[in-house]
Amino acid sequence: MIFGVNIGLCFVLAIVQTTLFPYLGITETFYDLPTLFVLYLGLFRPDRESLPVVVFLGFILDSLSGGPFGVYLSIYFWLFLSVRGSIRFLHIGFNSLLPVILAVGVLLQNAIELLVLAVVEPGMGFPATPPRLILLRMAWVFVTGPFVLLVFRYTHRKCDHWRFQLFSEKSG
């Protein structure tokens, strides 16, 4: 059941990222929304539940992006591993450190994306993303990121509650 919810969230995020954001004209200035889902999975969900979803999300966005295949898959995989490695040293909860972690995650996502594109297209040189654009994306994640994570957490808590009720009714 939780995999169905996660796959559904992947599809919703992919649709919002690829259709709604371009329609609103905020594709360049807004951060990559599925990146927050990868960060959420890395911070708050177990590996056996998260890793297949991260791979699936990367595959879906690679299929939709039109760029070199594997870019999003590698970005999300390395972000997930980075977050999982960092929670060994940080006590993560919904506190004041969370927006900083999200902003660093978005910064890391932008850095990996630029690095992968520079390696894949060596003749083009290093892509020039203005620092103002990266700062604007980080400002967006500071303002909206914790609220988006609350939506993810609420969705997962409801799913866990329904799953608990379903299994308790069957056994009782």
* Amino acid in the structure at residue 69: F
Give me the pLDDT at residue 125, please. 56
How far apart, in Å, do the first and last CA atoms of the chain sit? 20
pLDDT in tens, 58-101: 999 999 887 778 889 989 999 999 999 888 887 766 577 888 88
Give me the pLDDT at residue 38, please. 95
Give me the pLDDT at residue 151, please. 92
User: Is 155 within 8 Å of 37 (Cβ atoms)?
Assistant: no
pLDDT in tens, 124-146: 655 566 778 888 888 999 999 99
* Amino acid in the structure at residue 149: L
Instruction: Extract the tokens encoding 130.
Output: 């203005």
d(CA 75, CA 69): 11
Query: What is the sign, positive or negative, of the torsion defined by CA atoms of 137, 138, 140, 145?
Result: positive
Helices 98-120 + 33-44 axis angle, to 10: 120
Give me the pLDDT at residue 56, please. 94
Q: Provide the number of structural domains found in the chain.
A: 1
Torsion of CA 41, 90, 106, 44, to 10 degrees: 10
Is the confidence at residue 158, as pLDDT, over 70? yes
Q: Which domain holds residue 22?
A: 2-171
pTM of the model: 0.87
